[in-house]
Structure 1
Amino acid sequence: MPKPILSPAGYTPEFAMAFANQSGSSQQVSSGAPLPVTFATPAGPPPMSGKATLDKRAGPFLPRPGRAVMLVLSGTWQGTVRLLRSTDGGATTFGLTAAGLPYGEYSTNICEPVWEEAEEGAALYLDMKVTSGSISYRLGQ
C-alpha cells in the first residue's frame, strides 16, 4: 500500500502569480486577467514604394528575419520585375532561385508574399525593366 505524500508543515503555502499590467502595476493572474503568453511582434522596416516608367533598380529594403515580405505590383505596364538579394550592401546582387530555377520574377500585377529572409542584414532590391506603361510597387512586411 503506497504511503500518502505529506507536506512537512502540514499545510499548503499560498502562492500567487502576478505580472506587470498595462499601467505597470502588479496584476494577480486570474481567469479575468490571464498570464500574457504572446509577444508583440516588432514592427517591420518602413515599406519601400514608388513608381517606375523607365528601367529602375529600387532598394535596399532590409527585411526583418523570420517574417514574410509582401510585394505589390500594380498599374498598366509591360515588362519584368525581378526580386534580387544582397548580403554586401548591394555591391553584388543575386536573382532568387528555388530548386535551382528562377524565382521572384513577375510580368503582371501581384499582391503576395514573395520571400522570407533568414539572415540579419540581407537586403532586397527590385530590378524593373519597363517596356511600356508605369509600374507602382510596394515591398514591405
Structure 2
Amino acid sequence: MEGPMKILNPSGYITQHGLAFADATGAAIPVSDDHPLPVSISLPSARPSPLSGTTNQSILSSGFAPVTDRPIWLTLSGIWTGTVSVRRSSGPKAPAAPLTIGGKPWGIFDRNAMEPIGEESIPGAVWYLDIALAGGTLTYEVRQ
C-alpha cells in the first residue's frame, strides 16, 4: 500500500495491525522497506577440505566430515565402469552404512555425475564413497 491509510466517514478511526521488532534499545520498530525484519542465517564460514582422488581399483574412500546445514556435493568423472555408493556414519569410529530412502538403496552411481547428495544435520558425521570399479579410472570429489 502506498502512502498513509485514509480514514473515511462514518468512522473516525481505523484499527491498524503491523509487525514490529525491538531495536537495540528495546523500542518497537515497525517493519517497512526501510526497516525489514532482522533475519539472517548464520552458517559456519569455515568449510572442510574436499575429499578428492583418482583410482583405477575398488576402494572405500577416506572420510569426509561435513559441516552441518550445507549441501554436500559429489563429482564423479573419468572413463570408468562400476558403481560408487555413498555411505555415512554417525562418527569417525561408527560403522558406515549405505544411504537409503524409504528402506530402498539410494546414492548409487554408475556414471559421471555432479550433484548434491545430502545435507548433514548431525555434527561429527562422516561420509564415504564405496567405489567398486570394473574397469577404467575414476576421479572423485566430495565437497561443500
TM-score normalised by the chain length of structure 1: 0.71
Do the aligned partners of residues 110 and 137 (structure 1) sit closer, same or farther apart at CA in structure 2, a change above 3 Å counting?
A: same
Deviation at 1:99, TM superposition (A): 1.3
2:119 matches 1:120: no
Partner of residue 81 from structure 1, selected from 81, 84, 94: 84
Q: Who is 1:44 aligned against?
A: 47
Q: How many residues align?
A: 113
Runs of at least 5 residues in structure 2 that lack an aligned partner in the other structure: 1-11, 14-23, 25-33
Task: Note the residue ranges of structure 1 that are not aligned, 5 or more in a row.
Answer: 3-16, 18-30
Distance (whole Å) between structure 1 residues aligned to residue 43 and residue 106 of structure 2: 31
Counterpart-to-counterpart distance in 1, 2:43 and 2:67: 14
Report the CA distance shift for 1:117/1:78 in structure 2 as closer, same or farther (over 3 A).
Answer: same
Return structure 1 stretches of 4+ with deviation > 4 angstroms. 36-41
The equivalent of 1:56 in structure 2 is: 59
* Structure 1 equivalent of residue 100 of structure 2: 97
Question: Which residue of the partner structure matches residue 28 of structure 2?
Answer: none
Identify which range, 83-92 or 122-131, moves more after superposition.
83-92
| Matched residue type, 2:64 | F
Tell me the distance in 2 between the aligned counterparts of 1:82 and 1:109: 13
Which AA in structure 2 matches 1:115?
G
Corresponding residue number in structure 2 for 1:7: none
| Alpha-carbon distance in 1 for matches of 2:97, 2:85 | 10
